[in-house]
Amino acid sequence: MPYPVEEYQERWARLYAEMSLRGVDAVVIWQRSGGGYDRASDLHWLCNYAALSSGQEPAYLGPVGKAFAALVFHQGQEPTLHMCEPYDLIDHDAIATTNVVAHENLPKGVGKALREAGIEGEVLYNGEDFLPAMYMDAIRREAPAVEWVPDLRLIWAIHRIKSPRELVAMRETGEVATRALTALMEGLIAGKPESEAAAAAAQEIIRTGGGFQRIGTAFGKKAEKVFWSSALTGYTTASPQPGDMLRGWIYGPLHKGFWLDPGRAAVCGNKPTPEQRKLLEASAEIIQAMANMIKPGVHSQDVGAMADKMMENAGNELDADLWDLYGHGVGKDFFLDPVIPRLGALPEYTGTYEAGMAVTVEMFLLHKGVGWGTFEHTGLVTDDGWEPLDRTPLIFW
């Protein structure tokens, strides 16, 4: 277990307090296969459980609900983990809650448990974007008195400020990210095949017990049109040539399930043309300016407005939004508020920075015929401002 059970109990207490503020008695957190990937990490963060299943399987093959799990919070009780795999195959010493139930039919079992517990009315749930409709239909049939209300902000509210132990884990994750991203970029700059550079990055992550969702690369003219050389894996076996603009990214649960997603752009051979140098140095300047602006009390909309001006002054030629943001929160979940909005987008997800947040700054500056300046930098918000987590150089010359 990455933390003592007391750490999880403290998270439960924060969740129950937030539930009380919202006037709800029950919350269900859904997870799909894994536990350290995307929003599936919410359940893992709350009880240290990840499904054994390799992936989501057809519902008609064996037990219904394989690769899914649900964590039910009911006021005044220890949460109950509902899973769809053999009870005896689970490492119960690693799971934070002692209430664990195995089902042959997970959605039916969860619905029945809610009904038998007398839970009625509004129940918040997290995971509506990946819970199959047929599973939700089954739960509704079993618990007809429940009014299901999807709510993502509940988790964000208790997750955005990291605990002291989590801050230690995030700094450790930053060290892993630095070694991995540096290995990736040095390999690409040296002209190695994308796959070899990615393998060097993966080694740095795996040797410390971490994992990743994707290691992405791209180079040359194609990199002005597509973001990754391969949409499936992120990389190919092709090699950049001297003078090619290139990019490299790593992201996923790099260490103890904590997410970071830093990226850099550079030039193969490290001898940029004047146009390439101008593009990349302007990009790095924008990234650093956003990082320097972030501190407690600053609103992310103000950071976005500054970045908009700098992007315009740097001659951005992107015809449409690549993303609607210049940054976001990170942690056990791969995406949190507050976001830094691009051109005023996503106002409902913006907010004021507080000490203890882990956040990113990112930008994508296009000069047609030259390339994209693509960077993402991660850091902690401290009382003194920005503390970098990944320390791979922004500029390599």
CATH number at residue 258: 3.90.230.10
CA 368/CA 320 separation, integer angstroms: 13
| Residues 155, 182 share a domain | no
- Confirm whether 103 is domain-assigned: yes
Both tokens assigned to 288: 């650093």
Per-residue model confidence (pLDDT) at position 257: 85
Beta strands 358-367 and 371-382 are: antiparallel
CA 23/CA 44 separation, integer angstroms: 25
Domain of 117: which CATH number? Answer: 3.40.350.10
| Residues 235, 203 share a domain | yes
Please give the tally of structural domains in the chain.
Answer: 2
User: Distance from CA of residue 285 to its chain's centroid?
Assistant: 25
- Confirm whether 69 is domain-assigned: yes
CA 377/CA 392 separation, integer angstroms: 9
Query: What is the number of residues in the chain?
Result: 397
φ, ψ dihedrals at 383, nearest 5°: -60, -25
Spatial contact of 186 and 363, defined as CB atoms under 8 Å apart: no
CA 386/CA 381 separation, integer angstroms: 5
- Confirm whether 147 is domain-assigned: yes
Domain end point (choices 118, 142, 159)? 159
CA 333/CA 348 separation, integer angstroms: 19
- Confirm whether 395 is domain-assigned: no
CA 238/CA 370 separation, integer angstroms: 20
Per-residue model confidence (pLDDT) at position 35: 59
Nearest-Å Rg of the Cα atoms of the chain is: 22
Per-residue model confidence (pLDDT) at position 333: 67
| Residues 171, 85 share a domain | no
| Residues 188, 140 share a domain | no
CA 132/CA 378 separation, integer angstroms: 33
- Other Cβ atoms closer than 10 A to 393: 13
| Residues 170, 127 share a domain | no
| Residues 40, 25 share a domain | yes
Contacts 24+ apart (CB under 8 A), 142-145: 142/107, 142/108, 142/110, 142/111, 142/112, 142/114, 142/115, 143/111, 143/112, 143/114, 143/115, 143/119, 145/115, 145/119, 145/120, 145/121
How does pLDDT run along the chain (397 residues), one tens digit per residue?
Answer: 556 888 999 999 999 999 999 899 999 998 886 655 666 688 989 999 988 877 666 666 678 888 899 999 998 889 999 999 899 988 999 999 999 999 999 999 999 999 999 999 999 998 877 788 888 999 999 999 999 999 878 888 898 999 999 999 999 999 999 999 999 999 999 999 999 999 999 999 999 999 998 999 999 999 998 999 999 999 999 999 999 999 999 998 899 888 899 999 999 999 999 999 999 999 999 999 999 999 999 999 999 999 999 999 999 998 766 789 999 999 876 688 999 999 999 999 999 999 999 999 999 999 999 999 999 999 999 999 999 999 999 999 9
pTM beyond 0.85, yes or no: yes
Domain of 67? 5-159
Spatial contact of 247 and 375, defined as CB atoms under 8 Å apart: no
Per-residue model confidence (pLDDT) at position 53: 79
Spatial contact of 19 and 76, defined as CB atoms under 8 Å apart: no
CA 62/CA 64 separation, integer angstroms: 6
Amino acid at 385: G
| Residues 80, 172 share a domain | no
